[in-house]
Amino acid sequence: DAGITQSPRHKVTETGTPVTLRCHQTENHRYMYWYRQDPGHGLRLIHYSYGVKDTDKGEVSDGYSVSRSKTEDFLLTLESATSSQTSVYFCAISDIGTDTQYFGPGTRLTVL
């Protein structure tokens, strides 16, 4: 299994509070991704990173921001959480030239 951890694994928070999810990898892969998974929607890309401090938006980026200050860490921040952001969040990694993504275990976020 790829060395990917996500923290926290579960979180319950209230509407309007900031939330940061962390993805940590030990594979030294260049690319990192954040997805959300919702019933009936599959996985949808939120943001991705193609290097330290290099990020771009995905399909569903509104309400989310990301940062990557080190190769191994990719942070997803919900500046002001809303109930529509209740979801399971997955981090993935990929290396240059492979086009193959490996996924972390996921974080279940509930916004009340």
Partner 1 sequence: AQSVTQPDIHITVSEGASLELRCNYSYGATPYLFWYVQSPGQGLQLLLKYFSGDTLVQGIKGFEAEFKRSQSSFNLRKPSVHWSDAAEYFCAVVLNSGYSTLTFGKGTMLLVSP
Q: Name the site residues for partner 1 (rule: CB under 8 A).
A: 31, 33, 40-45, 48, 50, 56, 58, 90, 92, 94, 98-106
**Closer CB to partner 1, residue 8 or residue 16?**
8
Look at residues 5, 109, 6, 8 and name the one whose alpha carbon lies nearest to residue 63. 109
* Residue 24 token pair: 């940590």
Q: Please, what is the minimum distance in Å from the beta carbon of residue 80 to partner 1?
A: 26
Name which of 15 and 96 has its Cβ closer to partner 1. Answer: 96
CB of 15 to partner 1, least distance (A): 25
Per the CB < 8 A criterion, the answer to whether 108 and 91 are in contact is no
* Closer Cβ to partner 1, 58 or 63, answer by number: 58
Q: How far is the CB of 36 from partner 1 (least distance, A)?
A: 11
The per-residue b/e assignment along 88-100, b for 16 or more CB within 10 angstroms, e otherwise, is ebbbbbbeeeeee
Q: How far is the CB of 16 from partner 1 (least distance, A)?
A: 28
Whole-number Å distance between alpha carbons of 62 and 48: 14
